[in-house]
Amino acid sequence: MSLFKVRRQAVIIRSLFLAVSAMMAAAAFGQYGASPSQTGVFFDDFRSRQMRNLRSAGTRDSEVVYDYDSGVYRDNQGDVMGTRTPDLQAAREVSRPSIRSGSVAFAARSVGDYTNYAGQYTSPTGFFAPTYTSDPFLSGRRNLKLGPLNLGFGFFQGFEYNDNVTRSGTDPVSDVISTSMISIDANYQFTQNNRLSLSTAIGVDRYIENPDLAPYGNGGFVLNVLPGSTLAFDIKAGPVYFTLYNRFAVRPASRNDFTAARNQYFGVFQNDSGLAANWRVNSAWSLALNYMHSYSDALSQTGGGNTGNNSSFNYDEFSRISDSIHGSLTYSPTGTWVAGLEGGVTSVEYVNEFNADGILNNIGPFVVLPVGKSSYLRFATGVQVFDFDSLPPQVVYGPPTGSPTPSELALNSGDQSDLNEVYYSLTLTNRLNSRVTQSLSMGHESALNLTSNFVTADYVNYGIAFVGWKGSRISLSTYYEKATASGGAFAQDFDQYGGDLYISHRLTSTLQLGAGYHYGFTSPSTQPQTNRTFVTNEDFAQHAFNLDFAYLLSKKATLTFGYRYFTTDVKGDGDLSFDQNRLVMGFNYNF
């Protein structure tokens, strides 16, 4: 099978309300080109990026002041390099528990998305920015001006002691892991309307005592490039604004949702290259288009890092190539409400035949309405049509007698399913005041899966972030998801629910404390055609506790300390239940 097989492509249109684009971007979740909600995230972030680039050359003062009354960081200018707008910063506070709590409660609807982490909550940044920054005082805001070059540059070095790297309930193995990371947020203004920018966070993990425990890489070294890392060139030509971009990431991924077993993890290199254009037709109409070519390479290593009953599984089965073209058309005659049409088509080619190649289509209308002075409601609906190729018959190699084990399998997913179904999503974002932000999102839509053609999910997320007292920030989030795999030998359905709490308090101008808790419950169930040799039906509950300390050595240097306790209780299978303790020490320096 040719990796670059040519498939026909079509253009359909999609859009968003410019005034709340950043807020809407933070509220959606899924996969670009597969989930309409996530495809909309791109256009949301693209249009907000356009407005910021036209307003400012991207320079800013490096001084940042913490406002105790509002609980937010303020600098001397509202515009920053990159895409971290105040609305996205607020969304980051709402979604922070998914990062800080240590949860592995992956969303089934996003486990096949390599462009972001598959947490249950919303993405904490937009499409063109790394997932998060670890700086608790400056929130990633830093600046060096070298002639026409604006350079934000930061360094992080951390050490972690983990008493159960293998997540084993019977034979835990400990290790010390070193993490070095450099974050860069830079731009070069060629002309008033043309700008080259780079936003990334890149680093290396090193498993010191047991190099073979690294989930991927060589010699215990694991490369990490945070999702959202982007090199982009912005151009304005008359009424049309273009962005030529290359987005890249190297990160851990999961083979399926049951992540209690360590051997479900592998690495992924993801590269997205594209060209987006936005044409302001007139004061009421706007048209945006985006073409993107994506290449995903599943990374793994042989040896201890993937030992277990599926140690010989070929993770390269999840490598894929996709080409997508999507668009949006919006109508907003008064600038207070928006109606539009969105849609597009994506072709997916898998390097091997474990999953079926396919064409993914979606089209539908949406509306964005203001509700009062500080709330916005976005509702979208339409139809998703997925057409997958037929897979050849499965081939199973096993022992002469008895059932084969996963390590003796050589097969495809066995899924022959297509999709023709209505989708919908609803998001309500409310900023009560400078101290309280909340977001509610719910929907029903389908996305690519790893162990079947696709997965269809109903989901509800709610998050609120507020200042409880002077110097504090409190985030409270909860989620529910009901997901159904399309079919095949590995088909499982999932019911998941849980919640997170994170509290931070700025004791003094130099000392900040934080504490968090996560609870999650997952109930998997196999479908009638599923081969139960390959999957588990055991329910499991997760608890995670964490403490964080950050001490400001200077305006640019910070020491951080953390403790994480994580436990998973697998009902009916004590061997899979495990506990894990992690001690973390880090140093941040912002140039």
Q: Report whether pLDDT(560) > 50.
A: yes
Question: What Cα–Cα distance (Å) separates residue 512 from each residue in 139, 269, 560?
Answer: 13, 35, 9
Ranges assigned E (strand) in 69-192: 72-75, 144-146, 149-162, 175-189
Confidence of residue 492 (pLDDT cuts 50, 70, 90): confident
Cβ neighbour number for residue 42 with a 10 Å cutoff: 28
94-105: b (≥16 Cβ within 10 Å) or e: bbbbbbbbbbbb
Domain-located, residue 50: yes
Domain-located, residue 176: yes
Q: Are 358 and 348 in contact (CB under 8 A)?
A: yes
Q: Are 518 and 529 in contact (CB under 8 A)?
A: no
Q: Distance (Å, rounded) from C-alpha 552 to C-alpha 52?
A: 31
- What confidence score (pLDDT) does residue 114 get? 75
Higher per-residue confidence, 379 vs 6 = 379
pLDDT digits (tens, 9 = 90+) for 13-53: 222 222 233 233 333 334 778 888 878 777 877 877 776 66
- What confidence score (pLDDT) does residue 283 get? 87
Which domain CATH number covers 406? 2.40.170
**Domain ranges, residue 447:** 18-590
Q: Report whether pLDDT(583) > 90.
A: yes
Least confident of 23-27, 96-100, 407-411: 23-27
- What confidence score (pLDDT) does residue 107 get? 81
Q: Are 512 and 136 in contact (CB under 8 A)?
A: yes
Query: Considering its fold, how many domains does the chain have in total?
Result: 1
Q: Distance (Å, rounded) from C-alpha 253 to C-alpha 259?
A: 10
Domain-located, residue 370: yes
- What confidence score (pLDDT) does residue 324 get? 95
Confidence of residue 454 (pLDDT cuts 50, 70, 90): very high
Higher per-residue confidence, 344 vs 265 = 344
Tokens 């101290």, residue located:
435
- What confidence score (pLDDT) does residue 584 get? 92
* pLDDT average, residue stretch 112-127: 69
- What confidence score (pLDDT) does residue 21 get? 32
Q: Distance (Å, rounded) from C-alpha 205 to C-alpha 217?
A: 10
Least confident of 366-370, 481-485, 486-490: 486-490
Sign of torsion over alpha carbons 393, 398, 401, 406: negative
The number of angstroms, rounded, from the C-alpha of 563 to the middle of its chain's C-alpha atoms is 24
Q: Distance (Å, rounded) from C-alpha 388 to C-alpha 245?
A: 29
* pLDDT average, residue stretch 104-129: 71
Domain-located, residue 410: yes
Ranges assigned E (strand) in 389-435: 419-433
Tokens 């486990």, residue located:
111
pLDDT digits (tens, 9 = 90+) for 280-316: 898 899 999 999 999 998 887 543 343 333 444 566 7
3-state secondary structure of 44: helix
Tokens 């509800």, residue located:
460
Domain-located, residue 4: no
Confidence of residue 142 (pLDDT cuts 50, 70, 90): low
Confidence of residue 62 (pLDDT cuts 50, 70, 90): very low
Domain-located, residue 179: yes
Confidence of residue 97 (pLDDT cuts 50, 70, 90): low
DSSP annotation of 488: S
- Bridge partner list, 590: 154
Q: Report whether pLDDT(86) > 70.
A: no
Q: Distance (Å, rounded) from C-alpha 369 to C-alpha 96?
A: 27
Q: Look over the chain and give the mean of its residue pLDDT values, rounded to a whole number.
A: 76
Domain-located, residue 323: yes
* pLDDT average, residue stretch 361-390: 91
Higher per-residue confidence, 317 vs 512 = 512
Confidence of residue 403 (pLDDT cuts 50, 70, 90): low
Domain-located, residue 10: no
Q: Distance (Å, rounded) from C-alpha 59 to C-alpha 147?
A: 11
Tokens 């999650």, residue located:
520
- What confidence score (pLDDT) does residue 55 get? 53
Percent of the chain with pLDDT over 70: 73
- What confidence score (pLDDT) does residue 458 get? 96
Which residues, at least 6 apart from 101, have a Cβ–Cβ distance to it below 8 Å?
A: 500, 502, 516, 517, 518, 544, 546
Q: Report whether pLDDT(203) > 80.
A: yes
Q: What are the structure tokens assigned to 387, written together?
A: 């057409």
- What confidence score (pLDDT) does residue 57 get? 40
- What confidence score (pLDDT) does residue 453 get? 92
Q: Report whether pLDDT(569) > 70.
A: yes
Q: For residue 159, with 0-12 CB atoms within 10 Å meaning exposed, 13-18 middle and 19 or more buried, which class applies?
A: middle
Confidence of residue 144 (pLDDT cuts 50, 70, 90): confident
